[in-house]
Amino acid sequence: MPTDEPLSKSDRTRLESSLRTLSSFDPLSDLGGLHCLDVFRRSLLRSGPKPVQRVWIRKRSHSERVVDKRRQQLIHCAIELKDAGIKFKRRRTDRFWDIRFKNGVLKMPRILIHDGTKSLFLNLIAFEQCHLDCSNDITSYVIFMDNLINSPEDVAYLHYCGIVEHWLGSDAEVADLFNRLCQEVVFDVNNSYLARMSEEVNLYYNHRWNAWRASLKHKYFGNPWAIISLFAAVVLLVLTFTQTFYGVYGYYRPRT
């Protein structure tokens, strides 16, 4: 029990002996949960991604502790990915972290955002930051969502795709939540379980043909009236070309 009275010599000796005995104890070597938060985290990541071993120096300089947002950039935001031709689809699973990308389609499980989401993610991120032998899967997921969501428009589009549901006041609050969660988090994109998938998304995004095809589809095939207008323009162009051809042909090859 804490007290303001100084320790006696015998008590001090017993305390020093106990500390020497406990100095070799490593709680991370225990297979059980370190904390109720650890137990909850493990339940979220059951059969989760293969842990990525983090080789970090325990004592970091001040410059290393200051977060560079550019180093946390895994992918572009949802609207930019959509404009590049990448489609979003809801993945039917309860593993919110299980995100996959194939053939230009980014499949993501549905996530529900409520009043307790911020404190929950903050505690889980803090736990991963404090335990170096712990994987950073929750942090990787939150930073991935932070990259996807830069504005209320991103939230609205992900909601339209069935990926993000929220009980907050507005889409702007959801965007602000994710944009603030990892402001002071030390993170290396190479240690993320989503790093390889993000590279595949970026390769698809940087391919110009995909962006041109998506732009063409959006401008000229986005609604029935645009399709009808395009078809009418093509027909008019063909008729004009045909009329010009026969006019020139009749001039050089008149009938005898």
Mean pLDDT for all residues in the chain: 76
Tell which residue, 171, 2, 13, 1, has the closest CA to residue 78.
Answer: 171
What is the rounded (10 degree) CA torsion for 201, 49, 119, 26?
A: -140
**pLDDT single digits (tens) 47-78:** 556 555 444 433 443 333 444 454 556 789 99
Length of the chain in residues, anyone?
256
pLDDT of amino acid 207: 76
Give the least confident one: 54-58, 135-139, 174-178, 238-242: 54-58
Radius of gyration over alpha carbons of the chain, in Å?
A: 29
Q: Which residue has the higher pLDDT, 13 or 105?
A: 105
The alpha helices in the chain, defined as continuous H runs, are 9-22, 36-44, 62-65, 78-83, 117-130, 137-148, 152-160, 171-181, 195-206, 208-220, 224-252
Q: What is the DSSP string of 72-125?
A: G--S--HHHHHHTT-EEEEE--S-TT--EEETTEEEEE-EEE-TTHHHHHHHHH
31: pLDDT strictly greater than 60: no
**pLDDT single digits (tens) 143-197:** 999 999 999 999 999 999 999 999 998 999 999 999 999 887 877 778 889 999 9
Helix, strand, or coil here: 26?
A: coil
